[in-house]
Structure 1
């Protein structure tokens, strides 16, 4: 039997617990799921600034939380939706992925089509904002063969089967990768536009707050946009932002191929073929965790721009997700640890109890979250967290 647990910020009902509260500091079972969502069918949980989506193995999307711009996709602008409900207009489609910005959303189907909904204040829906200021129902965009979708604070990125990347929305930090005819940064792009000058074919996109990443078929990582906290793996004292896709040197990752990427608002983590996880970016909330090359493990730095290996001794990382400034790691402990089965460790920003340790103090060293079973999946929003657990 499986059970979904949630904790952290709940000021808009984004935990789906059936009520609104400032915070929930301990993992709490989500008991108000629709009858059409058996807990064992939950594939992923993703969240934005204050809203959350559940994607099931059947390709259905259910939303809860902040809905002032229609970002939950239920056809209304009710401020808070405290229980998960199915997104309207996508019932006949097999959805494979969903992503959230601050208050907009994007979904991908198994046919490579995409839908957008929520706020369009900065063109983040890929539609002229004067014509569509927001949408409380999904709108299909005229893009085909999409294989990956991602959303930043107020911008959106997708990758296609051919390896091309399209971006739109807010771009004042260079996160769109577009320049105008005068060589200036495009600050707002209201419709999807091809990102030029990409080396290789991109199969996966990820977005930070104002940064965009592309992972190529060769395992190379490209990055562009804001570099205030070293997110581009370049010294922010020298590079404030970058408008063209910038290859991050493979020797930063032991010359290994990168297998996956996740991004918080201002920090980034990647996994490589050997199983190691590298992490970099902003670190003043402890969101980078303990690093192999850190002499004083509890010393707080504002940022680290050179990717470093995340150090979790005797623990194999099976999966990692990033909130705005905190992380959840699905861990398989090695045999000499007393725990059995997969479990959850968390660290970083904890103002809303989003790390799930019962406190609101930032977590500098990863702590184990107490859950009543083996962890099967972890999900995260800006300041809220989820875990699917197989009960003992």
Structure 2
């Protein structure tokens, strides 16, 4: 190089090349503010002082010079620090650590260890140490905890800022940002590592920090620079600062292979053409172009012709005000292990372990290194084909799943290996996992561990699953959301394995509850497993994965409910008959134990089948009884009046009792007749509460109110009371209502259910295949007599192929949400005034509709099969034979009327006709003129023994058509 390139503070060289005495080649070098360090054969020379450091027994692998001193990396991974007086000493805080990379800034330094941990020390005035707690400085190495688990590829330190690069090309920066040198779009300092989002998926392979600017190199040779540009060091043909990474356009297509930043200048190497380009401050000749100028575009360095084809440029070094290029003799093409790369698990390593080619002591040591490091595991099994690992994002984890499964299957087949792996994971890895990772790469571990656990024995599987569940739930909400996104993209077998893992562990714990004494450890861990199951269940639903609801259901819950019901009955019996204090205390303690477990599970309904949900609803504890005293002639008036007063305090958890002023008898028949008739009045067109659809089969809330808004609140209370009291009512709403109550967004299919013509027209717009710019309709619609602008920001907007999905979404949202928002919120407020939200949220929208409204799957054969007989009746009794013959001859509407007569419900309960357990009792005390009678709360039919079939038919038809319940006067 020309001597002007080599002139700097305290350094004057009159020859054309830097010549060091001795025959050993230079292995590494670095330029700092006050001196330059060289390594030859493991020995360090400091050029300014023209002497060699005497380090006993230490062979130096790498040197990095900074503003205040230098850092030396010894073979074996030990770190020494050197100040301006060239005194070298070991760095505190890195004892027993194998360091693989070092970096120096002006007053701070960094070190990366083989297991992927980043350590920092020095000044922290601008947050350049990246420590979570701000501290002015640290003389000893401190771990950057927020980066724990991130598999780092490279570290770099600038004047007062720092950068690291992950194996997937994700860039993190922190520290001083006065000139935008962090590339975050502002000039605010950062005290913790922050992802430079604008460099995501740019395939970044290296970073270099200058005094107040930064340069990155992407695979393929694209250079980005940002930060201070006052000396042209960004290469953008300007002297302006850049707050975002910007491509150096003059280098476009040059396939740059190296980039390095000095204080205020930048060097790049194009290896294929053996050209070095420089730009920035050249006032001390550091640009190597023979001139002392500021240069804002890349310009070739004038290299000596003595560096012929026998040499290759090994490394560019840019210091304070000087530059170097290290040339080495060309070697063969043989690849060597990269000593600067963190340790990761690969197939070759596993094969060595399995084959036993290494001693057990060595294998055990390797296992401990890999499986104790979250960074090592997160950097393993990357899908490097087609550079897919560089696509790392919140949607793409970058793992090669086939390689993961094959590798862990090999480990699982060797009991000794897998036992050691489990020990290390359980004792070292999991306890140290970071719940607040700085980047999404740290979450790969949570995808790897279930595959590792898959092949374990029961006890090992249980212990690791327990520990992993706790760690998943400890993740901060943002990280957990990303993990859920990764779950949604898992291969089918891995996703199914994840479900099976937590489903089986949950089932095992629930099964143990019924056969062992109270174990509060179960009560602690079971909800964690089920919470994760619920998370995965929601993921599968949202992503429309082929994992069915039945894969999540735990049938052992039904047994748990049966046990609790038995205990409840025993407690009641003891209090009523024996009052045996000791036995009652033991039973009550057991009762509290089961109730505690169930209370934690009901908010996680994916494990409950419909039968279990309904059983819990039916057998839960009640706070008390809420009474309605009504006049049959003023049903709504009296009902609303009493609900207004009662709603000042919520009605959740109260059983409803209905009395009528005409007789004041308390019976379950009163309550069922009340719900039947009050909902008929509420939903009738005359009430003006609702608007019917075109077919007059379904109703929805109106956009223009014809009644007081309060009535919707009271309407909601009545619906909540019906739900709370297990009553099937006439509520002719589309599924959209039940979705909205459960905070599930209604969709086009819900609109199609309510308004088939309109909904199908919108579906046609979505499915239209011809390529036209404008489809005709506008974002201006008319609904319920009102003209509405769906996009107020752009009135008169035309629907096109490009915005038709937006148009349909806004149309559906307006009709089912925005247009009725005020009314629905009143209804919803009333609904949850009367019933517990956690009970409602046990159900899916379709199930909630079934619980409140029932269904129309009338399977009369099941009714007949499940009927039992009492008194003198039996299945082959002549009256019973005649009864079923008469029943079979009834019209469909008459059969529905019979169901209403016997149960008080017009529709089939949610559990189907099998839930209707009809009993038929003989009544010889009835005369032939008596009609059959029904006790609806028990589905009990009192049937006289009629003389013939014709009389039976007449009496049955008369009974089911008889005016029942509320008599008009």
TM-score band (shorter)? Answer: 0.5 to 0.7
Once the two structures are superposed, residues 233-263 of structure 1 have per-residue CA deviations (whole angstroms, 9 ceiling, x without a partner) of 11334xx1111111112x536x231111111
Q: Where does residue 292 of structure 2 map in the other structure?
A: 300
Question: Deviation string for 1:136-158 (max 9, x for gaps)?
Answer: 11111121211111111111111
Pairwise CA distance, 1:207: 0.4
Q: 1:329, CA displacement in angstroms?
A: 2.6
Say whether 1:102 aligns with 2:109. no
Q: Distance in 1 between matches of 2:80 and 2:192?
A: 26
Match of 1:167 in 2: 173
In 1: Cα distance, 2:296 partner to 2:66 partner:
25
Distance between the aligned counterparts of 1:25 and 1:120, measured in 2? 28
Q: 1:320 aligns with which of 313, 316, 320?
A: 316
Paired residues for 1:1-392 under 5 Å: 25=48, 27-31=50-54, 33=55, 35-38=56-59, 42-65=60-83, 82-127=86-131, 131-141=134-144, 142-143=146-147, 144-179=150-185, 185-198=186-199, 200-237=202-239, 240-249=240-249, 252=251, 255-274=253-272, 275-290=274-289, 298-301=290-293, 303-314=294-305, 315=307, 316=311, 317-331=313-327
The answer as to whether partners of 2:181 and 2:243 remain within 8 angstroms in 1 is: yes
Deviation per CA, 1:38-64: give whole Å up to 9, x if none. Answer: 3xxx22211111210111232221111
Aligned in 2, Cα 1:48/1:9: closer, same or farther, shift over 3 Å? closer
1:25-79 CA-to-partner distances (Å, cap 9, x unmatched) read: 5632222x1x2413xxx2221111121011123222111105xxxxxxxxxxxxx
Specify whether residues 232 and 24 from structure 1 end up closer, same or farther in structure 2 by C-alpha distance, changes over 3 A only: closer
Q: Distance in 2 between matches of 1:11 and 1:241?
A: 27
Question: Does the 8 A contact of 1:9 with 1:24 survive in 2?
Answer: no
Normalising by structure 1, we get a TM-score of 0.67
Contact 2:231–2:264 (8 Å) recurs in 1: yes
Give the 3-state SS of the residue equivalent to 1:197 in structure 2.
helix
Larger Rg: 2
The alpha-carbon distance between structure 1 residues 95 and 37, as it changes in their structure 2 partners (threshold 3 A), is same
CA contact 2:173–2:193 (8 Å) conserved in 1: yes
**Higher RCO (CA 8 Å, separation ≥ 6 residues):** 1
Deviations 1:92-138 (A, max 9, x none): 22211111111111111222221111111111101256x42111111
CA-CA distance at 1:11 after TM superposition: 8.1
SS of structure 1 residue aligned to 2:257: strand
1:120–1:25 distance in 2 versus 1, CA, 3 Å: closer
What is the alpha-carbon distance in structure 2 between the residues aligned to residue 149 and residue 7 of structure 1? 15
Q: Name structure 2 gaps, 5 residues minimum.
A: 1-22, 39-45, 331-969
Contact 1:278–1:309, Cα closer than 8 Å, also in 2: yes
TM-aligned CA distance change 1:262 to 1:8, over 3 Å: closer
CA contact (8 A) 2:118 2:143 kept: yes
The CA deviation at 1:2 is: 5.7
Does the CA contact (< 8 Å) of 1:7 and 1:28 recur in 2?
no
Please tell me whether the aligned partners of residues 8 and 25 of structure 1 are also in contact (alpha carbons under 8 angstroms). Answer: no
Determine the structure 2 residue equivalent to 1:379: none
SS at 1:157 equivalent: strand
Provide the C-alpha distance between the structure 2 equivalents of 1:53 and 1:229, rounded to a whole number of angstroms: 28
Which whole-Å CA distance do the structure 2 matches of 1:11 and 1:221 have between them?
A: 29
* CA separation of 1:54 and 1:148: change in aligned 2, threshold 3 A: same
SS at match of 1:278: strand
Runs of 4+ in 1 over 4 A off after TM superposition: 1-12, 23-26
Distance 1:104 1:44, change over 3 A: same
User: Deviations along 1:160-198, whole A, 9 cap, x unmatched?
Assistant: 11211111111010001224xxxxx23211111111111
Q: 1:2 to 1:273 in 2, by over 3 A?
A: closer
Higher share of residues assigned helix: 2
* Residue 343 (structure 1) aligns with: none
Alpha carbons of structure 1 residues 136 and 327: separation in structure 2 relative to 1, 3 Å? same
How far the C-alpha of 1:280 sits from its partner, in A, is 1.2
Q: How many residues align?
A: 291
Q: Is the 8 A contact 2:69 2:82 kept in 1?
A: yes
Q: Is the 8 A contact 2:212 2:263 kept in 1?
A: yes
Is the 1:261–1:270 contact (alpha carbons within 8 Å) kept by the matching residues of 2?
A: yes
Gaps of 5+ in 1: 16-22, 67-79, 180-184, 291-297, 335-392
Q: Please report the RMSD computed on the Cα atoms of aligned residues, expressed in angstroms.
A: 3.1
Normalising by structure 2, we get a TM-score of 0.28
| CA drift at 1:285 | 0.7
The residue matched to 2:245 in structure 1 has which SS? Answer: strand
Give the Cα–Cα distance (whole angstroms) in 2 for the partners of residues 175 and 9 of structure 1. Answer: 20
1:171/1:189 contact within 8 Å kept: yes
Check 1:10–1:213 CA distance in 2 against 1; reply closer, same or farther (3 A cut): closer
Offset of residue 308 of structure 1: 1.4
